[in-house]
Amino acid sequence: MTKKHPVNEKSKQEQLEQFKTDDRNQALTTNQGLKLSEDEFSLKAGERGPTLMEDFHFREKMTHFDHERIPERIVHARGFAAHGEFELYDSLGEYTKAKFLQNPSVKTPVFVRFSTVAGSKGSAETVRDARGFATKFYTEEGNYDLVGNNIPVFFIQDAIKFPDLIHAVKPEPHNEMPQAASAHDTFWDFVANNQESAHMVMWSMSDRAIPRSLRMMEGFGVHTFRLVNAEGKAHFVKFHWKPVLGTHSLVWDEAQTISGKDPDFHRRDLWESIENGDYPEYELGLQIIAEEDEFKFDFDILDPTKLWPEEDIPVKLVGKMTLNRNVDNVFAETEQVAFHPGHVVPGIDFSNDPLLQGRLFSYTDTQLIRLGGPNFHELPINRPVCPFHNNQRDGYGRQTINKGPVSYHRNSLAANTPAPVPESEGGYAHYQEKVEGRKVRSRSESFKDHFSQATLFWNSMSDTEKEHIISAFSFELGKVKSKSVQQQVVDMFANVSTVLAKQVAQAIGATPPSGEDAPVTKSSPALSQEQTIKKPNTRKVAVIVANDFSSDLPQVLNSLKQQGIQPEIVSTTLQNVKGTDGSELEVQHTFLTSDSVLFDAVYVVGSSSADEKFRKEALTFAQEAFEHFKPIGATDEGVKWLKAAGLDSSPGVVTGETTRFADEFIEAVSAHRHWNRHVI
């Protein structure tokens, strides 16, 4: 249970409970509580006559329906969320006075919303895109929002360019295409003419932009913030979320296929994992730089298109977040939640990052139109767990009933309350930084290096990851109609790698650059997913079974389950399949209702009684998994089928005796992909 603090009126879960309702077995009423005797027919002047204006029930019901939708977010419209808790490992009092970062015994409730950026609310979830990773901490000092992405850098350096970026990446206005995709002219025209985007584009063209799961992607605060301790000493900080399951991705063909097979793939995965008790976990990491070291690096630490290499500034893991409860209502919680990087608590402050500075205005402005006015903080999902008191009044959606005549400061009628609180008693005070300079519309010279970290990213990739980046550029630019834009992009990314630019140029028919790449002088292994954690936990395996399966199969399935693997039976129909010993297995999927792209691995069992159609369906599963470099297992009749198809002797394909098969197959599943497999 979440530990209460004396100032908390209710825990977040208790607070939300008071707003929940169960309408089952209740009398039907209007919103005013009037019981209704009829809900099938509107009030008419005779059975065939016109509807009467006095039908208040019809008008209330229809008016509410007409207003059920609120404007979707301009960006991050397609999202899904869950509740959880954050627990600190050790006190961070050395760096910050934020109370939720002091006591490891206190669990802080959180609400996390994941999202795609470019697509509208109804778009598919496995598109190539950055992912939002926004966390609301309900602390005893107020709500703290860590609003980030799964990529640590951004396209632009100054918030004034954000509308331009989004206009460019959204569907083109003359035909409203393409949806949720960056593979079109206006986006790449923006990239070529705004070269500060180079680093972010490299990430977007990498496997990071097509995550396997929301449970298996990193999160980043993107910006440089400040931590301030009780003595007033400040440190610069960047925030990280590190998934306990490691960082894993889809392959491009797989991602495209999933978009058609299950456009809800990521939210379904998150929802089912929590329902099954496989709670997603992320460790909070901090990169910390002392103020006196601000200018000791070969990049500007305030530049949002730059990351802090982990080899130079290590990530200190300070706590763990566990998502353990699904929402009760997607609209009331996921859609109405309002995040804002300006929602901070004492001990956390801002830097002069110009992109962050603009976000501090933009987010509140957005909520005003989305949620109907200034009282969005009173919606249950947004309410802090601590009391709040101020002189703000009225407005759309007001729920607080303020008593008394006073709504201003200073006053004598209410003894000058509510009153400000000194910093020593928990009042928020901005960090006092000396600032001087002329008023200019300009950018620091230290922000003008657009390619060195893009090159660092390229140099840090494995050969397989580089191949995927080349393919991504080739696909995206292959969709661009303008030859001029194509050539501009090739010329631009020659500044990152001529190897990359030459291969992309060849693929799209552009003129390749001359010259060769300089020798690699620096790379960052932490940027490559090849270095990530590899576990079998929660991996889904399609087990293809027919009647008369071997009596050893249940033993293999139990071995997989003991390692946290989730085997799901696939067969011709949803009727139970029976083994040679009379045992039965429940079938979860048919060949018609599922596909290999919806699983992490395929295990072909079959049986001697399976017909030719079954064998072909099983091999279709196996062949597609093989081409996506996934683990494949086979026992019994399945071994013969794989051998006949020539799939039996490749890396990550496991066949053999049952006792050793389980161990070897678990090892193959843990590896996630087998890139050394030869795929024609």
- Find residue 24's DSSP bridge partners: none
Q: How many CB atoms lie within 10 A of CB 596?
A: 25
Q: What are phi and psi of 288, to 5 degrees?
A: -125, 135
Token duo for residue 328: 């009760």
Q: Where are the alpha helices (DSSP H) in 283-400?
A: 354-370
To the query of whether residue 229 is one of the catalytic residues in this protein, the response is no
Neighbouring residues of 492: CB distance < 8 A, sequence distance ≥ 6: 191, 192, 195, 198
State how far the Cα of 128 lies from the Cα of 169, in Å rounded to an integer: 12
State how far the Cα of 558 lies from the Cα of 542, in Å rounded to an integer: 14
| Amino acid identity at 633 | G
Place of tokens 């900080």: 237
Task: Single out the residue of 111, 150, 181 nearest to residue 335, CA to CA.
Answer: 111
Q: Which one of 8, 83, 143, 149 is the catalytic residue?
A: 149
CA torsion sign, 481 to 483 to 489 to 494? positive
How far, CA to CA in Å, does 75 sit from each of 53, 56, 129, 137, 650? 40, 38, 11, 22, 43
State how far the Cα of 643 lies from the Cα of 649, in Å rounded to an integer: 8
Helix (H/G/I), strand (E/B), else coil: 220: strand
To the query of whether residue 276 is one of the catalytic residues in this protein, the response is no
State how far the Cα of 112 lies from the Cα of 362, in Å rounded to an integer: 20
Neighbouring residues of 273: CB distance < 8 A, sequence distance ≥ 6: 215, 279, 280, 538
| Amino acid identity at 675 | W
Cβ-in-10-Å burial (0-12, 13-18, 19+) of 422 comes to exposed
Place of tokens 């509740």: 83
State how far the Cα of 259 lies from the Cα of 126, in Å rounded to an integer: 6
Q: Is 7 left (phi over 0), alpha (psi -120 to 50) or beta?
A: alpha
Token duo for residue 261: 């097979």
State how far the Cα of 243 lies from the Cα of 231, in Å rounded to an integer: 33
Asked whether the beta carbons of 476 and 129 are under 8 A apart, the reply is no
Report the helix count and the strand count for the chain, using DSSP H and E: 16, 18
Token duo for residue 378: 């009173």
Cβ-in-10-Å burial (0-12, 13-18, 19+) of 61 comes to middle
Cα-Cα-Cα-Cα dihedral of 403, 404, 409, 410, to 10°? -150
Task: Single out the residue of 431, 394, 321 nearest to residue 101, CA to CA.
Answer: 321
| Amino acid identity at 470 | I
Neighbouring residues of 139: CB distance < 8 A, sequence distance ≥ 6: 98, 99, 100, 108, 345, 385, 386
Q: Which one of 57, 76, 223, 377 is the catalytic residue?
A: 76
Token duo for residue 674: 């087998």
Length of the chain: 680
Q: What are phi and psi of 255, to 5 degrees?
A: -60, -40
List the catalytic residues: 76, 149
